[in-house]
Amino acid sequence: MPIEPVSLTCAEMKLTVSQRGSDASFGYQLFIRDPETGWRSASATHNPLVRGNVFELHASDIKKVDDARILLTGTIGGDGKHGNMGITTWRATITADAARGWFIFDVEVNAEQDIQLCMQNGFEPEITLDLGPLPPYERGDHVWFITQITNPTKWNDDAYGNDFPATYYFDPYLNVEIMLFFDMTRMNWMSRQNIARFLNYRCGFRRRYQPEPAGELGLYATGASGRLFPSGVQHFSYFLTARPRKALADDHEAVRLLVDKCLPLLPRSSP
Higher pLDDT, 122 or 178: 178
pLDDT in the model for residue 26 = 97
Q: To which H or E segment does residue 259 belong?
A: helix 251-262
In a domain, 65, yes or no: yes
pLDDT of 84 strictly over 70:
no
Residue-range definition of the domain harbouring residue 175: 6-265
pLDDT in the model for residue 212 = 81
Average pLDDT in the 66-92 region? 85
Average pLDDT in the 14-28 region? 91
pLDDT band at residue 224, thresholds of 50, 70 and 90?
very high
What is the domain count for the chain?
1
Average pLDDT in the 214-232 region? 94
In a domain, 221, yes or no: yes
Segment 155-170, tens digit of pLDDT: 766 677 777 899 999 9
Looking at every residue in the chain, the average pLDDT score rounds to: 90
pLDDT in the model for residue 135 = 73
pLDDT of 1 strictly over 60:
yes
pLDDT in the model for residue 205 = 94
What is the domain-level CATH number for residue 182?
2.70.98
C-alpha 258/C-alpha 218 separation (Å) is: 14
Buried b (16+ CB within 10 A) or exposed e, 29-47: bbbbebeeeeeebbbbebb
In a domain, 271, yes or no: no
Average pLDDT in the 226-248 region? 95
Share of the chain above pLDDT 90, in %: 69
pLDDT of 68 strictly over 80:
yes
pLDDT in the model for residue 137 = 59
In a domain, 199, yes or no: yes
pLDDT of 264 strictly over 60:
yes
Higher pLDDT, 268 or 65: 65
Pairing relation of β-strands 232-244 and 6-10? unpaired
Higher pLDDT, 152 or 17: 17
pLDDT of 31 strictly over 80:
yes
CB contact at 8 A, 95 and 69: yes
Of 56-70, 205-219, 230-244, the range with the lowest mean pLDDT is: 205-219
pLDDT band at residue 268, thresholds of 50, 70 and 90?
confident
In a domain, 228, yes or no: yes
Q: How many other CB atoms sit within 10 Å of the CB of residue 207?
A: 12
pLDDT of 248 strictly over 90:
no
Classify 26 in phi/psi space as left (phi over 0), alpha (psi -120 to 50) or beta: beta
Segment 174-199, tens digit of pLDDT: 899 999 999 998 999 999 999 988 78
pLDDT in the model for residue 172 = 85
8-state DSSP, 99 = T
pLDDT in the model for residue 80 = 58
In a domain, 196, yes or no: yes
Average pLDDT in the 70-76 region? 96
